[in-house]
Amino acid sequence: MTMDRADVIARYDEKLATDAYADVDASANGLQVGSESGTVEHVAFAVDAAEATIEAAVEAGADLLVTHHGLIWGGLDRVTGQEYDRIAPLVENDIGLYVSHLPLDGHQSLGNAAGVADQLELEAREPFGEMGPVHIGQRGQASQPYSVEKLREALDEFDNGGTPTQVLDFGPDEISEIAIVTGSGVDWLSEAEAVGADALVTGEGKQQVYHEAREAGLNVFLAGHYATETFGVRNLAALAQEWGLETTYLDFPTGL
């Protein structure tokens, strides 16, 4: 099946409420490279827009590449060096680049945090991770309480290039209430404490989170930035398949 590129973009923008995140996200969400004119038959999906994924999209014969992390963050001054090496193959092969950063983190059914919550079989879910007028995460209750080790094992099943989940086990031994902000989400530790979470699940940490978690009496699980952010693009690929488009998922785990 073939669709107008503008139609694919419009459907994703509407589904993800892209405009709602415009004032809080440094990423230029939506179509970052290419024209809205033309058609789409084959869509490639990846977490990162990088030389490796762009080259793989070219090789796959994709008409559109959809990623979580794009190429434009708060502006683009020059198209030289690394920027040129990434953008040129897209232009030369007429591949559009569609990006969804925070909208794909925060979507309560298609997003990254929702995907983590699905894998952990959380119930009674609510938005979590306030960022201005929007949320970028989710929280919920485990159907059966986790021990620290069982939750670590569940998170280790995510694809993080073989890097194990790091745990700051300063909270209760029995974990029921779990807050999730994928990627780099330790800045929401105070909110996790405020809502009574037993654990915060995120991707990567910062030096100060050790003491913050210890003083808050909260478990923090660092399951990998990449590993916690594969769910959203996979869900967008499933949508494209429902629309009748051919899809390819490009897996380049970073181990980080």
Residues comprising the binding site?
A: 68-69, 105, 225, 229
Closest CA to 62 of 128, 138, 5, 125: 5
**30 with 72: CB under 8 angstroms?**
no
Q: Which residues are documented as binding site for a divalent metal cation?
A: 68-69, 105, 225, 229
Write b or e for each residue in 52-87: b if 16 or more Cβ atoms lie within 10 A of its Cβ, otherwise e: ebbebbbebebbbbbbbbbbbeeeeeeeeeeeeebb
